[in-house]
Amino acid sequence: MRIVIAGGHGQIALRLERLLAGRGDEIAGIIRRPEQAGDLLAAGAEPVVCDLESASVADIARHLESADAAVFAAGAGPGSGMERKDTVDRGAAALFADAAEAAGVRRFLVVSSMGADREPPEGTDPVFAAYLRAKGAADADVRARAGLDWTILRPGRLTDEPGTGRVALGEATGRGPVSRDDVAAVLAALLAEPRTAGRTLELIAGDTPVDEAVKSVVEG
DSSP bridge partners of 72: 6, 110
171 catalytically annotated:
no
- Which residues does 192 contact at the CB level (< 8 Å), separation at least 6? none
Angle at 201 between CA 6 and CA 164, to 5 degrees: 80
Q: Of 131, 134, 153, 201, which one is the catalytic site residue?
A: 131
The rounded distance, in Å, linking the Cα atoms of 53 and 194 is 29
The rounded distance, in Å, linking the Cα atoms of 20 and 14 is 10
The rounded distance, in Å, linking the Cα atoms of 139 and 110 is 8
- Which residues does 89 contact at the CB level (< 8 Å), separation at least 6? 74, 75, 76, 131, 134, 135, 138
Three-state DSSP at 75 gives coil
Catalytic residues: 131
